[in-house]
Structure 1
């Protein structure tokens, strides 16, 4: 399976200037290439190459490999735009947002990532050095740092392209690694049910509650600060908002990684599979009052589910997604379904048999039971190969890559 390892580069000022000039040139070329693709209606790699390859090499003094990567990035960005339009992520056809997304060429930010292959980038992992192609020539002996675990992964499994990325003044390389998977467990003894929620991010059928009230207090504090800064609407407030947004996203990702790692380790240790709710489209199905919307949408449950799925796949743990309908209203003991069973957010009390339990634990037990029933009927693990942007802890997004991580159009970034 493909995973991505993030390493931080430690360039000298001269090396950093060369890297910055390279990113700027590549992204200017990509934006120009995008305008050509838009004007001519050509978004396929080889067809677009006929119109742009020579001009890119001559005008921006890019090497052959860099020019080809620029063209491929542009094509990938338009493919992503097409997928988003088809999925309805940019509104309905004819809507203002849809017209804005399709009415102008995709543009690339000056600092967006640039892919490198082994002809443009060479690794000396034991010495912690890399040699990088730039528009100012080959920059050799660029130092980098990473954890011992990441260095070992790089040395054993690195395969494919790497992305050069500048973020908050820091330089990173995102290296693709082909990591072997464990032998899948085809005969689990049981399932570990996971109930995802707002107050308690995750509750297991064993009764363990992870990331509860403490993280919610932090989220509420961040939300209040964000509201205050948005009301000020000054340049300084906007800078702080941008900085805190990235910080909050990193915190959520860190917590999701920790939860996923713990859940998968527990399931692997006990020989069980993992049962999750199928929450696709939950935001469209659930209607909430305005004060509840920010809280409901402020945690990335899809990211948590994806982290659990790829970590489980790597460990050989089966994952089954079940229908979440009425899991919070069904008694885990007698199966009685009643809206009145849910006494409060925290407690469940069955009106039929009198069973009382923590509401989230009761829900996770129902999820576990449904997964076990599906497995006995012949269901297979629904832990797919991980999308490239999901990586192990410390890694950053991959194969959103340069094609889309820096691409933007009139609508939000692709």
Structure 2
């Protein structure tokens, strides 16, 4: 006689309901707003910053001493037990933001260990004298236009003219204290918009002009001569730092260091403004952008470089690497494709006959010794980048999108 299990078994699959998962889209932009808190709120933010730094340094000490976690406890629980001690009670006000500091330290340790081929490493401690300090908050910390409304109790902060902070944010936010100035960072998702153009352009980064572009019909010289203004500001900065080193008055040295900070910010803001305007024009006017991999960090090494220190300073001041990252991010929001290519020998090769001019040097004008073709050096390089990239890249335009064929390997570019 057989027996049947008459007990009704649940057919429910245990696990997360896919419909209850977060529907948040991955952010593709960050809104960075300069803010000025009240005196009381500034003190609270500084205390949070110190507590966040203390938690991070405790984790760094744990990793550097190669300690082992107690059984059944996480690193966050170990740090939380240390906060209960009387000498560390001032850090309790940080709340659950402590977990962000612990995660940041763990990620830093994993990345450093991976970079060192799995061997033990010694992490650096964070200092209160660092030029840039960051607090990372969870997505529920920012509500009603401020962080932890119950803790700040109505204390307000103001923003710069033309900026507006969101009322709430669904993503994790950041507070940045940089050179005495507070910045609020809000990740956000911007809906991609398709550009109305289908043109192609090749860019040639340089020193005399920030970029030289060629689109088959027109030549764009972007930032030509603008490096002169940046050089003048850099000269003023050098003069100011020399006076700081020679001054014997403590108050005077303090004021001149503050002036040097303002001068650095002015230079950075000019370069950033150029990056934003150039990226906006390129993304709105072209569908495919060829941008060479401009390895600035390798070209300025003293052991292998063949350029003078003035050219090195110009190259570093333009910040071509930052511009490339920003252009790729902005292009992704406008359905524009940025293809990184190789620019080897594009300045030395004649765009008319293909002859390689080995003694070109630093000439501004390219004069071919074989066919006599005369053309501006940067324009010659931009045109050769266009020809080389089009030869090595197969693409088709489908409706409003552009598709690059996988038949040709990326290394060929």
TM-score category of the 2 structures, normalised to the smaller one: 0.7 to 0.9
Give yes or no for the alignment of 1:160 onto 2:171.
yes
The one of 40, 43, 50 aligned to 1:24: 50
CA distance in 2, matches of 1:312, 1:113: 28
Q: Provide TM-score, normalisation by structure 2.
A: 0.72
How many residues of Structure 1 are paired with residues of Structure 2 in the alignment? 349
Q: 1:212 is matched with which residue? A: 224
Give yes or no for the alignment of 1:66 onto 2:83.
no
Whichever structure has more helix as a proportion of its residues is: 1
The one of 257, 274, 278 aligned to 2:293: 278
- Cα deviation code 1:276-308 (max 9, x no counterpart): 112235425643345543333333110111122
CA distance in 1, matches of 2:127, 2:51: 11
CA distance in 2, matches of 1:78, 1:12: 36
* Greater C-alpha radius of gyration: 2
Q: 2:368 is matched with which residue? A: 350
Q: What's the secondary structure of 1:62's corresponding residue?
A: helix
Q: Indicate how the Cα distance of structure 1 residues 63 and 168 shifts in structure 2: closer, same or farther if over 3 A, else same.
A: closer
Residues 132, 139 of structure 1: 8 Å contact kept: no
- Cα deviation code 1:344-381 (max 9, x no counterpart): 63212223333322211111111112222222279849
Q: Indicate how the Cα distance of structure 1 residues 2 and 147 shifts in structure 2: closer, same or farther if over 3 A, else same.
A: farther
Q: What's the secondary structure of 2:318's corresponding residue?
A: coil
The within-5 A match list for 1:46-65 is: 47-56=74-83, 59=88, 60-65=91-96
Q: What's the secondary structure of 1:112's corresponding residue?
A: strand
Give yes or no for the alignment of 1:132 onto 2:165.
no
Q: 1:196 is matched with which residue? A: 205
Give yes or no for the alignment of 1:12 onto 2:50.
no
- Cα deviation code 1:115-166 (max 9, x no counterpart): 112322114xxxxxx13228x9244463554777x759x58x9541000123
Unaligned regions of 5+ residues in structure 1, if any?
87-92, 94-98, 124-129, 383-414
Give yes or no for the alignment of 1:253 onto 2:280.
no
* Greater length-normalized contact order (CA 8 Å, ≥ 6 residues apart): 1
Q: Post-superposition shift, 1:310?
A: 1.3
Q: Alpha carbon RMSD of aligned pairs, Å?
A: 3.5
- Cα deviation code 1:301-351 (max 9, x no counterpart): 1011112211111111111111111010122233222234x4863212223
Unaligned regions of 5+ residues in structure 2, if any?
1-26, 248-252, 397-402, 407-413
The within-5 A match list for 1:8-407 is: 8-40=34-66, 47-56=74-83, 59=88, 60-82=91-113, 105-109=124-128, 112-123=133-144, 130-133=145-148, 137-140=151-154, 142-145=156-159, 158-182=169-193, 190-205=199-214, 206-213=218-225, 215-232=226-243, 233=245, 234=247, 235-236=253-254, 237-267=256-286, 272-280=287-295, 282-283=298-299, 284=301, 286-290=305-309, 292-340=311-359, 342=360, 345-376=363-394, 380=404
Q: Indicate how the Cα distance of structure 1 residues 344 and 112 shifts in structure 2: closer, same or farther if over 3 A, else same.
A: closer
Q: Indicate how the Cα distance of structure 1 residues 21 and 330 shifts in structure 2: closer, same or farther if over 3 A, else same.
A: same
